[in-house]
Structure formats: structure tokens, C-alpha cells
Amino acid sequence: MNDSKIETIREEILALFSHELKTPLTLITGWCQVLQSPKIIGKLKKDQLHAVDVIYSNVTKLKSDIEDILDTNKLIYGTMLFSFDTIEVNKLIQRTIKKLKPLTDEKNIRVINLSTEKILLRTDPDRLQQVLINLILNSVDFVPRNKGIIKIGTKQDDDQVIFFVIDNGKGLPKNMQESIFKKLVQEDSSYRRKHGGLGLGLFICQGIVESLGGAIKVSSKLKKGATFYFTHPKYGNVAKFSLLRQKKHMAVSELYSLVEKTRHDQRENEMIRRLREYVEKLKNDEFLRSLEKIKQMH
């Protein structure tokens, strides 16, 4: 079996792995959201709601881990695609902070946006937000509960924009600051056992940042927190990341996912339809019971 055939099989297995895991997880997430909404099936008891919240949190984490595995594969084999648009950086940061607010609020961590200047940037907004989310989540794991502070900001420097994420966490030893962006690297094995995670987040950050034409680094001292910096060119040649350039190198998993996305959306729509039918049935049943009570009263 030649290398090309092996690579094709590997990509097909990875694509199948992604699809077969993500589809049931989407269904579980949907039903959790139904159970969490008192307007749909009524109010759960406190311990019941807590159990649903735990399920939802762990399913969300598992979905994130699957996405990290797929993105790592795309970066290694040069198949990650980018879709560019002009954005206002400060608004993107605000949306990112809002998206993570349930997590940071639960741990009572303050997240401060230091970016006040209006900066327009030609970039892939989803991938840029992915970098920011990964860096913030990394800080969330290191800062103390109830006393954690994470600051996010930007500054313009000649022909590039510098992003930074500062935390008051435990910091990183100097010998870890070079290897922290490698795959499957975390500060130590005991930390991984305590906090979980695949150790892919910072590797993905580096891959995306470099693909967008920038660079990423960390500055830290033990017990003094850490600051992650990354740059993004203001006027980069985004054509080199276009689909036309990538098309002939596109992996089977990337092509497979284009087809599977349609099927996945169809399944989600079907799930939503069933949920609506279920809710309507509950409403109708309740209405019929109310009518029966009225009849009995007369």
C-alpha cells in the first residue's frame, strides 16, 4: 500500500470519527437545552437541573476536544481553510468575552477588555476568535477561583496589530515557555490530571496565528502570571490562504465534511422539528386536561 493510499484511508477514518461522534453529541446538547428550559417541559428540581447542567457542560467539553483534534490535523497537513472579512477588533473581543461569560462567572473570574481604540482588520473572524478563546480558556485554568483577573487588549505597531492576554495565574517556568506551543504539552502531568484537556489549544493558536501571517509568544514568571502576545498583519496578502490555492491540496476529510455538513444540518433541523412537536403535544395535553377539569366543574 503506497503512502497516498494510506493518507486517503487516514483522512476517511478521521472524517468518519468526527461525524459519528459529533452527531449524537448535538442531539444530547439539544435535549439538555430542552430540559434546562422551564417554558418547555416545566421546572426541574434543583438536583435534577444540576445533573442536566453537568451533562451539558461535559458534552460541550467533549465537542470542543473533537474540534481541537480535527483542527490539529488540518494544521499539520495544511488543509485548514480561511474565510476573510473586515472586522472591528474591539467588537470581536467584546463578543468573545460575552461568549465565555457563563464560564468565567461560574468561577468568579474578572475579564477586562483594555482595547478601546477602533481598529479595522482584514482577517478570518472565526479563526481569530478561536485563538482568543483558547488563550482565555488557558488563563481560566491557571488563575485562582474568585480572585482571577484576565485582561485582553490590542495595540497598533506600524504594519501590524498586537493582541495580548494577561492573567494573574501561577505563571510558567522559563524552560516551558518555548515548548508550551507544541502538541500535547501542558505544564505538568499532574496539572493535566487535575484540569483535563488534550494540550492542543496553544498549538492550534500558534498554527492559526502563523497561517494568518503573525507570530505568537509568551512572557511569564512563576507566581507572577503570564502574558500571551500574538501579532496580525494589517495589510496581509490574504490571497495565499484562498480556497483556490488550497483546493488541489484539500484533504479527503475536508471534502467529506462539506457533504456531511449538509447532512448534519438536516439532522439538526429534524431534531428541532421533533422537539417542537413534543412541546406542542405537551401544550395540547395540558389544554385537554384543563378542559376536562372545566367540564367536571360544571
pLDDT in tens, 129-176: 999 999 998 999 889 999 999 999 999 988 999 999 999 999 988 888
For residue 1, is pLDDT > 80?
no
For residue 68, is pLDDT > 60?
yes
| Residues shown for the chain | 298
Rama region for 42: left / alpha / beta (φ>0; ψ in -120 to 50; rest) = left
Q: Which residue has the higher pLDDT, 181 or 288?
A: 181
Residue 151: its pLDDT value, please? 97
Mean pLDDT for all residues in the chain: 78
For residue 223, is pLDDT > 90?
no
User: At 111, is the pLDDT very low, low, confident or very high (cuts 50, 70, 90)?
Assistant: very high
Residue 79: its pLDDT value, please? 79
Question: Average of pLDDT values for 251-266?
Answer: 49
With b for 16 or more beta-carbon neighbours within 10 A and e for fewer, the 160-181 pattern comes to bbebbbbbbbbbbeeebbeebb
Residue 123 contacts residue 140 (beta carbons within 8 Å): no
User: At 97, is the pLDDT very low, low, confident or very high (cuts 50, 70, 90)?
Assistant: very high
For residue 246, is pLDDT > 50?
no
Q: Of the ranges 37-51, 52-66, 162-176, 187-201, which one carries the lowest mean pLDDT score?
A: 187-201
Amino acid found at 266: Q
Residue 166 contacts residue 151 (beta carbons within 8 Å): yes
Q: Of the ranges 7-21, 145-159, 235-249, 284-298, which one carries the lowest mean pLDDT score?
A: 235-249
CA distance 268 to 275: 10
User: At 27, is the pLDDT very low, low, confident or very high (cuts 50, 70, 90)?
Assistant: confident
User: At 213, is the pLDDT very low, low, confident or very high (cuts 50, 70, 90)?
Assistant: very high
Residue 264: its pLDDT value, please? 55
CA distance 167 to 8: 42
C-alpha cell belonging to residue 95? 463578543
Question: Average of pLDDT values for 260-264?
Answer: 54
Amino acid found at 24: P
Residue 216: its pLDDT value, please? 95
Q: What percent of the chain has pLDDT over 70?
A: 67
With 0-12 / 13-18 / 19 or more C-beta atoms within 10 angstroms meaning exposed / middle / buried, residue 94 is middle
Q: Of the ranges 1-5, 79-83, 286-290, which one carries the lowest mean pLDDT score?
A: 286-290
pLDDT in tens, 180-202: 887 655 554 444 444 556 778 89
Distance linking the first and last C-alpha atoms of the chain? 82
User: At 71, is the pLDDT very low, low, confident or very high (cuts 50, 70, 90)?
Assistant: confident
Rank 81-85, 205-209, 286-290 by mean pLDDT and report only the highest: 205-209
Residue 257 contacts residue 23 (beta carbons within 8 Å): no
Residue 234: its pLDDT value, please? 87
DSSP string, 13-52: HHHHHHHHHHHHHHHHHHHHHHHH-HHHH-PPPHHHHHHH
Residue 93: its pLDDT value, please? 97
Residue 268 contacts residue 195 (beta carbons within 8 Å): no
Residue 222 contacts residue 170 (beta carbons within 8 Å): yes
CATH class, range 85-247: alpha beta
